[in-house]
Structure 1
Amino acid sequence: MDSSVEKGKSAAITSYILGVGVFIAMSMNAEDKSSFASFHIRQGLGLTLTFISLGLIISNFDNLMISSSMWVCVFVLWSYGIFTAIKGETKPVPLVGNLYQKWFASIS
């Protein structure tokens, strides 16, 4: 496995802890930049912001079906992201991963 992947793996995995994990991973990646960690930090940040945005929108509907579908969707995307980080791969999460890479390109 590439040394940059090994160097950034803990930061990459940490970035998927919704909420604070992104900021912890950013500080872990601040000194010795790892492109692998940066990729997953952008994915984790995107998932966190998507989770918060969907939560704010869906909270207006008092419907279990809508809420549960949001939770399942976010959980599937989160699982995909964290497992690719654990395996040492840089695959964007389905549907929105490429957008996260474009939108958060300044985070490196």
Structure 2
Amino acid sequence: MDNYTVKEGKTMAIISYITWIGTLIAYFMNNEKRNSFASFHIRQAIGISLFSLVNSVFLLKYIGFYAAGFISLGLLILLIIGLIGAAQGEQKKIPLFGDLFQDWFKGIA
């Protein structure tokens, strides 16, 4: 990937990691003019946001507050890893789920 693509998509990539609203904003910004770097990070952010939603709605109810809190902490760490990668201009997949997110959401962003 060339430096121009990274430079052009870096803002959208960073925005995508700022809550699920940022993910939506970055998604719509990227729809106008597709950027492969931004799309990569948007897919990662969508996956983290969906896992966070599942954790908040279902797991909190069924496995308890402390276990869901531990999972939330892990998701926060994954989010920070993705954000740092976007800020540094790297297409670095998040640990454990990065390949899955790229495969699952390849048609979205």
Answering whether residue 43 of structure 2 is matched by residue 42 of structure 1, we say yes
Q: What does residue range 73-88 of structure 1 map to in structure 2 within 5 Å?
A: 73-88=74-89
Deviation string, structure 1 residues 66-89 (Cα, Å, up to 9, x no partner): 132012111110000000000000
2:105 paired residue number = 104
**Secondary structure in 2 aligned to 1:23?**
helix
**Secondary structure in 2 aligned to 1:102?**
helix
For residue 15 of structure 2, what is the amino acid of its counterpart? T
For the residues of structure 1 that align with 2:12 and 2:61, how far apart are their CA atoms? 34
For the residues of structure 1 that align with 2:68 and 2:51, how far apart are their CA atoms? 14
Among all aligned residue pairs of Structure 1 and Structure 2, give the percentage whose two residues are the same amino acid: 36
For the residues of structure 2 that align with 1:5 and 1:32, how far apart are their CA atoms? 14
1:25 paired residue number = 26
For the residues of structure 2 that align with 1:10 and 1:42, how far apart are their CA atoms? 15
In structure 1, runs of 5+ residues without a counterpart are none
1:72 paired residue number = 73
CA RMSD of aligned residues (A): 1.5
For the residues of structure 1 that align with 2:29 and 2:64, how far apart are their CA atoms? 39
For residue 8 of structure 1, what is the amino acid of its counterpart? G
**Secondary structure in 2 aligned to 1:29?**
helix
For the residues of structure 2 that align with 1:33 and 1:56, how far apart are their CA atoms? 32
Q: Which stretch of the first structure deviates more once superposed, 86-95 or 52-61? A: 52-61
Q: TM-score, normalised by structure 2?
A: 0.91
Figure out how many residues of one structure are paired with residues of the other and give that number: 108
Shift of 1:30: 1.6
Shift of 1:59: 1.9
For the residues of structure 2 that align with 1:95 and 1:72, how far apart are their CA atoms? 15
In structure 2, runs of 5+ residues without a counterpart are none
For the residues of structure 2 that align with 1:98 and 1:77, how far apart are their CA atoms? 13
Deviation string, structure 1 residues 42-100 (Cα, Å, up to 9, x no partner): 00001000100111122214744213201211111000000000000001110011100
For residue 105 of structure 2, what is the amino acid of its counterpart? F
